[in-house]
Chain A
């Protein structure tokens, strides 16, 4: 990551913010600006420690759960600046400011109107995929609903397998 490159600074800001939102212990405070979520303290760090930022080196090591969280984030967003900007902005509105999903989506469309609708939908969906953590209750409801589908599927397969008489 090169601090001289706008694109790299944007990627760093949004990745760190999404990891923080996911629950990683990150001390940088973020606020919502025209850029989306942004931390001045984090910016100070990559300007002051440009060498470490370039090498992506740190003395800290990630816990296995944290490493999984990073891997999932990279897999979903593929370090795309536009998807990260959209996803992080949606995350801030929906998960930090607790706007209802449809309202958060509407604000993102307005604040990031220079991106296409397709990019916005993609970015918002990736953020939901990354950040959504179902409660025990939601998991139970989902399981019960899926169980009926699963049982219907099994019945259907049995009927299919049964030899005709």
Chain B
């Protein structure tokens, strides 16, 4: 632990603490591997078992921070909201994940999907 404390404290200054929320972390995690394809709001809601209020409040916050982009897409004649992670969001997610890995003492592949 003593070896890591300096790196953890130093790196924590670069981490956006507004992201340290279970729901925001889950949303970024869920979208981080989906690139430009992203996922629809209803897929995120059902997949992460969130209610509408929590989902949209956090999507809005991540959108305002510039970590997500959104667009309307058509599926079987219905118009639905699609969300995808932005390059800035992906950088922030990787930075945060790396910091969390250090904090939790995970090693290498253990933290990889």
Residues of A within 8 A of B (CB): 5-7, 9-10, 13, 31, 33-35, 38, 40, 43, 47, 80-82, 110-114
Contact = CB atoms under 8 A, between A and B. Distances in A.
Contacts, number: 59
A7 B35 contact: no
B88 interface: no
B47 A81 contact: no
Grouping DSSP codes into helix (H, G, I), strand (E, B) and loop, the A interface class, with mixed when no group exceeds half, is: helix
Given A31-B113, A40-B35, A43-B37, A6 B75 contact: yes
Contacts of A13: 37
A110 to B, nearest CB: 7
Given A33-B34, A34-B39, A43-B35, A10 B75 contact: yes
Contacts of B33: 31, 33, 38, 40
Nearest to A114: B42
A75 to B, nearest CB: 19
Contact of B37 (A9, A82, A110): A9
Interface centre among A6, A34, A47 (most CB of B within 10 A): A34
Contact of A111 (B37, B46, B73, B75): B46
A113 B46 contact: yes
